[in-house]
């Protein structure tokens, strides 16, 4: 007998949510110290399996470099735990005795965590730890293309959490991922919040689900090399980022923008460090592989090396080429080089000065990736500040590698694999999402004064005088005694009609 996979998936979701709701109700009674103990146990279990899970992810998806995925797993577990281990998320967070105000951290409940195929195991670790730290249950919703490695990561985390005293089912994972099942999960009334990391369509589905959601849009960060920059170091950082796990982190650079006065030096250094500048004909061949007919990124190039992409496109490149670079002069949806490319491909723009480079960077971001991330390499603080004031991004990274700086590995930003894009990018947050994004703050406010205190120094309201039954006399000073006399004869219904008419008139002003 053949079972309907969609129906199985939907029923699994319903069961998972019911289990998670019950487990979270129990977990919400735990102290912060108990939750921290569980987070530590989960982190240690992840640390023991960093390499195993990295290799599984690489083998299953074909994306990236397993050695780099080990470091990503470490960022999602050890570095995440270390960043938040002393954070107070639940219970009394702050008490201001002078203002008589208390703030209480309250878990959001059941978290639906969408996991991408580009960073599967590391994102499961990161989201599980921040959910457990903040008193929430988590339901992991895997990308079908990375199901095996995500399920294995979940099993390790769930076992560690349970062994450390967490309620059973506090961490769960969907084993039958379907679109219908995911839709059921996102729209389930018992979901407290959705953490959406994945494709643009999935993030939009999360925001349109009717449940609270934190989603992130695509990255498309330009990297500006300003004339005061240390050019060899800037290129090294950009290439380190763009080749790290073959460019699968959305904060990685997507284009280089530089000034004409240093353009040749930048090109020479890029070639010296393994960059290959494509000819117009070669750019055309590679460009056909970047986007699909529907305007979305071609998954065949995601996480692939420069050599593999060159082979697919039918072009010859020098041995040892690390990054493919295409000189460009235009930006648009129909120019694949001006869009997000999660692989070692960069666009290259030359502008007359930093002001024009600033405009070009904004153009690139509004084409795709607004609100996300960009980098600048410069020693001129005045230029850096101008970029900080003008760029529509949530992260302006200075003199660092985009992929590693944006996720908090080489900067002081919060370690995260969910990078908010703010209102300009259609996201509910501009944060690197942390445990504090998964709690509500309940405020306990004591009265500090009375109505009589508020009225001190202000004119007292006129007393209401009742005249003939059913009529109200209004006492006020007026230079028009005739009008006052007539108003005194109005019924309450008259007054209400006049009020409605006045409000209607005001609304048209």
pLDDT given for residue 509 in this prediction: 59
pLDDT of residue 288: 92
Closest Cα to residue 436, out of 43, 107, 23?
107
Q: Nearest CA to 46 among 148, 127, 157?
A: 157
- In a structure prediction context, what are the per-residue pLDDT tens digits for the chain, which is 509 residues long? 456 899 999 999 999 999 999 999 999 999 999 999 999 999 999 999 999 999 999 999 999 999 999 999 999 999 999 999 999 999 999 999 999 999 999 999 999 999 999 999 999 999 999 999 999 999 999 999 999 999 999 999 999 999 999 999 999 999 999 999 999 999 999 999 999 987 777 788 899 999 999 988 889 999 999 999 999 999 999 999 999 999 999 999 999 999 999 999 999 999 999 999 999 999 999 999 999 888 889 999 999 999 999 999 999 999 999 999 999 999 999 999 999 999 999 999 999 999 999 999 999 999 999 999 999 999 999 999 999 999 999 999 999 999 999 999 999 999 999 999 999 998 999 999 999 999 999 999 999 999 999 988 888 777 766 555 545 444 444 444 555 455 555 666 776 777 777 676 666 65
pLDDT of residue 295: 85
pLDDT at 458 (0 to 100): 80
The SS3 assignment for 465 reads strand
Nearest to 60 by CA among 309, 290, 303: 303
Say what the pTM is.
0.88
Q: What is the full DSSP assignment across 291-309? A: B-TTSSBPTTTTT--HHHH
In this prediction, residue 405 carries a pLDDT of: 97
How does pLDDT run across 307-317, given as a tens digit for each residue? 999 999 999 99
Per-residue model confidence (pLDDT) at position 197: 83
Q: Are 245 and 72 in contact (CB under 8 A)?
A: yes
pLDDT at 501: 73
Contacts of 70-74 with CB under 8 Å at 24 or more apart are 71/409, 72/119, 72/121, 72/122, 72/245, 72/249, 73/46, 73/121, 73/122, 73/125, 74/47, 74/50
Torsions phi, psi of 3, nearest 5? -95, 150
Residue 476's pLDDT is: 45
Q: Looking at residue 488, what is its pLDDT? A: 53
Nearest-angstrom CA–CA distance, 389 and 368? 19
- Residue of 46, 89, 131, 250 with catalytic role: 250
DSSP 1-47: ----HHHHHHHHHHHHHHHHHHHHHHHTTS-HHHHHHHHHHHHHHHH
3-state secondary structure of 163: helix
Grouping H, G, I as helix, E, B as strand and the rest as coil, residue 383 is: helix
Please give the structure tokens belonging to residue 277. Answer: 């500048």
Q: Is 131 a catalytic residue?
A: no
Alpha-carbon distance of 440 to 420, in angstroms, equals: 18
Q: Which residue ranges form the domains of the chain, and what is each CATH number?
A: 5-216+435-444 (3.40.605.10), 222-412 (3.40.309.10), 461-507 (no CATH)
pLDDT in tens, 11-54: 999 999 999 999 999 999 999 999 999 999 999 999 999 999 99
DSSP string covering 78-144? IIHHHHHTT---SEEEEEETTTTEEEEEEE--EEEEE--SSSHHHHHHHHHHHHHHTT-EEEEE--G
Please name the residue that has the structure tokens 């023991």: 48
């Amino acid at each position: 007998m053949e079972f309907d996979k969609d129906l199985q998936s939907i029923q699994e979701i319903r069961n998972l949510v019911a289990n998670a709701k019950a487990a979270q109700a129990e977990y919400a009674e735990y102290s912060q110290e108990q939750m921290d103990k569980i987070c530590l146990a989960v982190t240690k279990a992840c640390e023991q399996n960093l390499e195993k899970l990295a290799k599984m992810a690489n083998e299953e998806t074909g994306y990236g470099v397993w050695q780099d995925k080990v470091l990503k797993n470490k960022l999602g577990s050890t570095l995440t735990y270390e960043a938040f281990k002393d954070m107070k998320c639940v219970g009394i967070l702050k008490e201001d005795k002078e203002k008589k105000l208390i703030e209480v951290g309250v878990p959001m409940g059941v978290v639906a965590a969408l996991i991408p195929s580009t960073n599967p195991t590391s994102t499961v670790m990161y989201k599980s730890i921040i959910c457990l730290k903040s008193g929430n249950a988590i339901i992991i919703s895997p990308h079908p293309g990375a199901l095996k490695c995500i399920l294995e990561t979940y099993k390790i985390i769930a076992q560690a959490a349970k062994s450390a005293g967490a309620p059973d089912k506090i961490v769960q994972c969907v084993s039958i991922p379907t679109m219908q099942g995911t839709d059921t999960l996102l729209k389930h009334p018992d979901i407290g919040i959705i953490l959406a990391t994945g494709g643009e369509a999935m993030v939009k589905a999360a925001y349109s689900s009717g449940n609270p959601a934190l989603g992130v849009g695509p990255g498309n960060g330009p990297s500006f090399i300003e004339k005061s920059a240390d050019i060899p170091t800037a290129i090294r950082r950009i290439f380190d980022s763009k080749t790290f796990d073959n460019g699968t982190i959305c904060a990685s650079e997507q284009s280089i923008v530089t000034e004409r006065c240093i353009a040749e030096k930048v090109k020479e250094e890029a070639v010296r460090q393994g960059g290959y500048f494509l000819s117009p004909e070669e750019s055309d061949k590679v460009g056909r592989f970047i986007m699909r007919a529907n305007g979305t990124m071609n998954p065949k190039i995601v996480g692939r090396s420069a050599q593999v992409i060159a082979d697919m496109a039918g072009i010859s490149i020098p041995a040892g080429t690390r990054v493919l670079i295409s000189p460009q002069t235009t930006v648009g949806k129909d120019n694949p080089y001006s869009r997000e490319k999660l692989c070692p491909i960069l666009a290259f723009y030359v502008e007359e000065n930093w002001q024009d480079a600033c405009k070009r960077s904004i153009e690139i971001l509004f084409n795709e990736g607004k609100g996300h991330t960009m980098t600048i390499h410069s020693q001129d603080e005045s230029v850096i500040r101008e970029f900080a004031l003008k760029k529509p991004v949530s992260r302006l990274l200075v003199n660092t590698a985009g992929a590693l700086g944006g996720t908090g590995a080489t900067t002081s930003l919060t370690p995260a694999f969910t990078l908010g894009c703010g209102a300009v990018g259609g996201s509910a947050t501009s944060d690197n999402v942390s445990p504090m994004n998964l709690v509500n703050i309940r405020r306990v406010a004591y009265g500090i004064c009375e109505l009589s205190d508020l009225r001190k120094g202000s004119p007292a309201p006129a007393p209401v005088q009742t005249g003939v039954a059913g009529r109200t006399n209004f006492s006020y000073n007026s230079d028009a005694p005739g009008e006052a006399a007539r108003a005194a004869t109005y019924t309450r219904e008259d007054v209400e009609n006049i009020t409605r008419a006045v409000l209607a008139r005001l609304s048209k002003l």
